[in-house]
Amino acid sequence: MPKKRKSRGRNKGAKGQSGRVQCDLCGAWCPRDKVIKVTKPVSLVEPQLARDLQKQGALIMRRIVTKNYCVKCAISKRVVKVRAKDDRRKADSLS
């Protein structure tokens, strides 16, 4: 059977199974090695308020948040894009 991707869209290798995690947007259960992880700093203060406080010299801490997205949500949220047929075969990872 022809494969769409070399890794079949996962980062599993020869490992038999991997645990399941929930997508942070839709709640679907996905294999841990298939979800698309996005790590970014998130400020707990509203942007307008943060700007005003920073002008007065306040330090605003940011939390680093990692989110797991299923493939469907990652594409609709534009985290990853649909690639051309040749590009799919080249790179193993989705991100």
> Under rule CB under 5 A, how many of the chain's residues touch Zn ion?
6
Residue written as tokens 């022809």? 2
Cβ closer to Zn ion: 45 or 71?
71
* Structure token digits, residue 29: 């259960």
* Surface-to-core class of residue 33, CB atoms within 10 Å of its CB (0-12 exposed, 13-18 middle, 19+ buried): middle
Of residues 3-62, which lie at the interface with Zn ion (CB under 5 A)?
A: 23, 25-26, 28
Q: Does 94 bind Zn ion (CB under 5 A)?
A: no
- Site residues (CB under 5 A) for Zn ion? 23, 25-26, 28, 70, 73
